[in-house]
A and B are shown apart, each in its own frame.
Chain A
């Protein structure tokens, strides 16, 4: 096996060790979340046990199978990718459909836009979301504005950009970032973050099919850690639709990606320790986001907590917070709370203190309830 996933495997192993031998200090800290699989979907036929990277591969495999114009490219995708997301695809579909590019992010996105302009399906990979910024100009000034500026003469709707995203335990400044808010300020893009393998495949297939340029962020900490029964055949999960994962009556908790699993745990803690009933919402699509589902929930519960790994200032929670405040002013019984990363770069050894973990979220719920 390649070295690529080593770090992640180690994280998973240490979690295991912690569970088996509590008392003896683990060499590495346990993962800050525990993944709870979604129920097996029955409506799409046969399923298979897949972790998140395998469900991505499955989606890509489906996409290339049914669309002869679709191509996958990026740094190191040819041998299977540094996170194994493209394993086997080159052998199955040919080296002209799954290929390495030079190491140049602005080139990757520009190149992908060009493919999409001809109408072919372009699935670009940026190796880490942290390295998407060299392509910021191509994404924001070009991809997002292609259709609008040309009066719909040209578009790059068949472009999807995938990128590993979020903290990973030891990724420090440049292997941990959650840059969704930078892109949320850019009309013309769709931004999507799944919470697990089933969601990942369905949402990725929707992004690939969607007639707009999409950025699909894959929570890399879950590549191996999250395992579910995932349908083998293609299926899609609609974009711009949040999902209420648990009904509740006292407070609404909103998150996306890995953080959804944090709020699931927080809901259990709040119920057990405080007798508080939490409604849990996975936002899934950051842009254009599903304000209706969130506002409906807050109108019912009267309280809202939003949490994300990214820094708080200018984070997407601000957008949600101010919209809900506008729409649900009469229903709100406490100030909306944001539990987010601090306004610092993402640190290496301080990661356990940096992330908005369940204890920080739990404490925020406690304070909101007592407001």
Chain B
């Protein structure tokens, strides 16, 4: 909308679209309005469209293109719900050790989710968002990347960090905003970021990361780094204007970026039927000239295979790829949401009990005798203990010193902010009793 207005405005000032025409003669011709507009005769009998905006043939019947939403883009799957490989030629043949790591990342995230969710319910942290049901999309995708590939996320991709080895202490430090938080306690919980693990700090405004990821990918291409950028977002976020911007820029500027959409059926309370009427998100990719695929997001191997191939081609061909992982948001949107207000418990239970990425991978492992009930029990116990220890330690720590509310606004501290910092310090000297100073470092 804005763009159209812009174009109209420019035309009004004399910045005519004519600028884009081949040459000044064309503009003058149009303006003169005279004989220049007369059409030259074609010498060839074969009439081909000459429009610069599309490469297509003429058609002599009136026909609107129908969107195909009943039979949409198929969902790529490698293993079934019982963990059986459907088509052996698609088996990624991941080693036992690696698969075990997949499983442990997913379940450790699940354990952390349960404990932090509870801790929010008890008022120990202010906010939390779980990853229930989407653990497979995180781990499967990040495992297919190089560690140096840059990740831009939305907020429900903690598994990506977990799989890259982000310590539990640091997850907790961020949620508690304690003195160990590299983010210095400034953002709400689950807004993680890690420079060393190439995970760009999360922010709340949806979709803003999408065109940013494209810019980063362009810079990588320029620097010849053989790195890709992966950008995660939900299906709701895909409705934002920034999603449109990002997809289009990535295609026209030929950027090595993987767009990874987690389509979990809901944006808070809004079902996909109120989010879009096309064939999900994957169907939009081709409209932008982007190679696109839809995968079963509860199948960690399907996610892995799609991401692996997208990565390989994105780097080699400098072009974007779109992966839409179909999944289901099993948990509430966040701790500020009760999802039973807009969807049935039966629906949730189906996905939790019968089609869950963790249980599916467990079936796979059990079939191969890589895992058993005993190991499951001991791992659960161990992971729970680790999470609890990290939580208790995080809770014991002081918050960072209040002065940290003033730094990093700019690279340097301008006079007016320095003055405000001094003013607060002076204020606290006199009125410190009325502030929670004991909980903060000095």
A and B form one complex: yes
Stretch at the interface among B59-67, B211-219, B293-301: B211-219
From B48-56, B103-111, B243-251, B350-358, the one touching the partner chain is B243-251
Determine how close the nearest CB of chain A comes to the CB of B181; give it in whole angstroms: 7
Beta-carbon contacts under 8 Å, B1-50 to A: 2-3, 5-7, 9-10, 12-16, 18-19, 24, 27
Q: Assuming A96-B222, A288-B415, is B249 touching A151 (CB within 8 A)?
A: no
In the complex, the answer to whether B411 meets A157 with C-beta atoms within 8 Å is yes
Confirm or deny: A334 has a beta carbon within 8 angstroms of a beta carbon on chain B: no
The answer on a CB contact under 8 Å between B241 and A106 is yes
What are the residues of chain B within 8 A of A22 when measuring CB–CB?
none
Give bound CA distance, A49 to B219, whole Å.
Answer: 35
Question: How many B residues touch A, CB cutoff 8 Å?
Answer: 66
Q: Identify which of residues 120-166 in chain B touch chain A, using a CB-to-CB cut-off of 8 Å.
A: 150, 152
Q: Determine the chain A residues whose CB is within 8 A of the CB of B217 once the complex forms.
A: 114
* Docked-complex contact A175 and B2, CB < 8 angstroms: no
Q: Which of A3-11, A247-255, A268-276, A349-357 contacts B (4 or more CB under 8 A)?
A: A3-11
CB–CB A117/B215 < 8 A: yes
Q: Which residue of A lies closest to B191 (CB)?
A: A149
Query: Is B249 touching A102 in the complex (CB atoms < 8 A)?
Result: yes
| Residue of A82, A110, A172, A288 touching B245 (CB-CB under 8 A) | A110
Contact mask for chain A residues 111-143; partner B; CB cutoff 8 A; 1 contact, 0 none: 111111111101000011011011001100110
Look across to chain B and name the residue whose beta carbon is closest to the beta carbon of A71: B222
Question: Is B200 in the interface zone, CB < 8 Å from A?
Answer: yes
- Residues of A contacting B415 with CB < 8 Å? 288, 291-292
A120 touches B223 (CB 8 A): yes
How far in angstroms is the closest Cβ of chain B from A165? 15
With A106-B241, A141-B208 already in contact, the answer to whether A175 and B215 are too (CB < 8 A) is no
B411 and A154 form a contact (CB under 8 A) = no
Q: CA–CA, A173 to B13, complex, Å?
A: 11
Structural contact, A134 and B211, CB atoms closer than 8 A: no
Chain A CB within 8 A of B201 CB: yes
Q: Which residues 167-192 of A have a CB within 8 angstroms of B? A: 170-175, 187-188, 190
Whole-angstrom distance between the Cβ of A334 and the nearest chain B Cβ: 25
- Known A103-B6, A105-B2, A288-B415; contact A110-B242, beta-carbon cutoff 8 A: yes
Chain B residue numbers with a CB within 8 Å of A131 are 2, 6
Establish whether residues A112 and B203, one from each chain, have CB atoms under 8 Å apart when the complex forms: no
Q: For the complex formed, measure the closest distance between the CB of A252 and the CB atoms of chain B, giving whole angstroms.
A: 19
With a cutoff of 8 Å between Cβ atoms, the chain A residues found around residue B414 in the complex are 240, 288
Q: B222 and A120: CB pair below 8 A?
A: yes
A79 to B215, CA, bound (A): 21
Segment of B70-78, B182-190, B262-270 engaged in the interface with chain A: B182-190
Judged by a CB distance under 8 angstroms, whether A369 is at the interface is no
Residues of B within 8 A of A114 (CB): 152, 211-219, 229
- Closest Cβ of chain B to A348, distance in Å, is 9
Residue from A82, A103, A142, A151 in contact with B15 in the complex, judged by beta carbons closer than 8 Å: A82
B348 at the interface (CB under 8 A from A): no
Residue of A106, A174, A190 near B242 (CB, 8 A) is A106
- B169 to chain A minimum Cβ distance, whole angstroms, is 15
Q: Judge whether B219 and A120 touch: CB under 8 Å.
A: yes
Interface residue from A6, A104, A141 paired with B244 (Cβ < 8 Å): A104
**Would you call A212 and B410 a contact (CB within 8 A)?**
yes
B2 touches A149 (CB 8 A): no
- Cβ–Cβ < 8 Å partners of A113 in chain B: 211-212, 215
- Interface residue? A44 (CB, 8 A): no
How far is B410's CA from A147's CA once the two chains are assembled, in angstroms? 7
CA distance A188 to B411 in the complex (A): 9
B182 and A104 contact, CB distance less than 8 A: no
The answer to the question of A99 belonging to the interface, with a C-beta cut-off of 8 Å to chain B, is: yes
Contacting residues, chain B, for A96 (C-beta < 8 A): 222
Do B184 and A151 touch (CB < 8 A)?
Answer: yes
In the complex, whether A155 has a CB less than 8 A from a CB of chain B is: yes
Asked, given contacts A115-B218, A288-B414, whether A101 binds B252 with beta carbons under 8 Å apart, the answer is: yes
Separation of A97 and B242 alpha carbons in the complex (Å): 23
- A153-B214 contact, Cβ under 8 Å, with A107-B249, A118-B219, A211-B411: no
Give the residues in chain A near B182, CB-CB below 8 Å.
150-151, 153
Chain A residue with Cβ nearest B201: A150
Which of the listed residues B2, B13, B409 has the most CB atoms from chain A within 10 Å of its own CB? B13
B218 x A4 contact (CB < 8 A): no
CA distance A113 to B222 in the complex (A): 15
Q: Complex Cα distance A356/B183, Å?
A: 46
Q: Is the CB of A112 within 8 A of B6?
A: no
Known: A3-B27, A149-B201, A151-B183. 8 other contacts (CB 8 A): A69-B219, A102-B252, A107-B242, A107-B244, A120-B222, A151-B408, A153-B201, A291-B415
19 A-B pairs with C-beta separation under 8 A:
A101-B253, A106-B242, A107-B246, A113-B212, A117-B212, A120-B219, A128-B6, A138-B242, A148-B409, A149-B191, A149-B203, A151-B193, A151-B408, A153-B193, A174-B6, A175-B10, A211-B411, A212-B410, A291-B416
Instruction: Identify the 3 closest CB pairs spanning chains A and B, nearest first.
Output: A114-B215, A110-B211, A107-B245
